[in-house]
Amino acid sequence: MDQQLPGRVRVVVFDVGETLIDESRLWAQQAHTVGVSPFTLMGVIGALIEQQESHHKAWDILGVEAPSAATEIRPGDFYPDALDCLLAARDTGFVVGIAGNQLAGATSCLRAGGFDADFIASAAKWGVAKPSTSFFSLIADASGAEPGEILYVGDRLDNDIIPAAVGFRTALLRRGPWGQIHSRHVDSSLADLRLDSLTELASIFRAATSGAPAEQPANELRRDDPAIRTVRASDADRPSYR
């Protein structure tokens, strides 16, 4: 079924984990760190997701201490369709942001991988993380746009779609354990778009702007707009994982 971009969207903001990056290696490393098999850890997390419980309970269930060190994102962790989608959003005139409860040092990894968004939000620097609605209010502040002009793209109902749906337009991406399970829940209907890939979203961006006159920008809010506030994370930032 064809999907269309919701009206008035001028800013597109991407979640990080299981939206831009594949967390399989990161979770496997966390499992090895605490001395359990990746299959066991991921099975427990899957059961918690299905029960709508916090995945942080996995460590207690397994009887181990939660890993204290963050796992660094590497170039090979990016999903193949992620950069193309971000570039498609930029090329068609949208202001682009990245905002998630990402790992320490994620900002430099994202920029090194070519994900040079107009703003990259830091949960640690702001002192607030998803699913707090304050996190989304700060995204609106950073973008200089009204909530209804922002499309937030994520893989989770609890962290992304439900808290953002208070004013943002939203896109639920069905991949990763959260995306696969949450896409079957009735609350998935809260999302304006339901996607199987970011390739699909890139096509929606291009279709939404294909009819715009060449001499006019697709959106009034531009990257050089002084209302867009640059937000960068420092190496000292220590946002919580997921």
Amino acid at 66: A
CATH topology of domain 11-21+78-209: Rossmann fold (3.40.50)
Under the banding of pLDDT at 50, 70 and 90, the label for residue 185 is: very high
Q: What percent of the chain has pLDDT over 90?
A: 63
120 within 8 A of 99, measured Cβ to Cβ: yes
Tokens of 18: 């299981």
Residue 164 token pair? 């953002």
Number of other residues whose CB lies within 10 A of the CB of residue 52:
11
**CB neighbourhood size of 7 (10 A):** 10
- Any idea of the CA torsion for 151, 157, 162, 168, to the nearest 10 degrees? 0
**Could you tell me where in the chain the CATH 3.40.50.1000 domains are found?**
11-21+78-209
Q: What is the pLDDT of residues 135-171, one digit of tens each?
A: 999 999 999 999 999 999 999 999 999 999 889 999 9
The predicted model scores a pTM of: 0.86
The pLDDT value given to residue 78: 94
Cα distance between residue 204 and residue 222, in whole Å: 20
User: Which parts of 183-229 fold into alpha helices (H)?
Assistant: 198-209
Mean pLDDT of the chain: 85
List helix spans (H) across 56-182: 58-62, 82-91, 106-112, 123-126, 133-143, 162-164, 176-182
The first and second tokens of residue 99, run together, are: 């905002």
Residues 6+ apart with CB under 8 A from 151: 5, 6, 9, 11, 12, 13, 168, 169, 170, 171, 192, 193
Question: pLDDT (tens digit, 9 = 90+) per residue, 57-102?
Answer: 999 999 999 998 777 888 899 999 999 999 999 999 999 999 988 7
pLDDT mean over 108-136 = 83
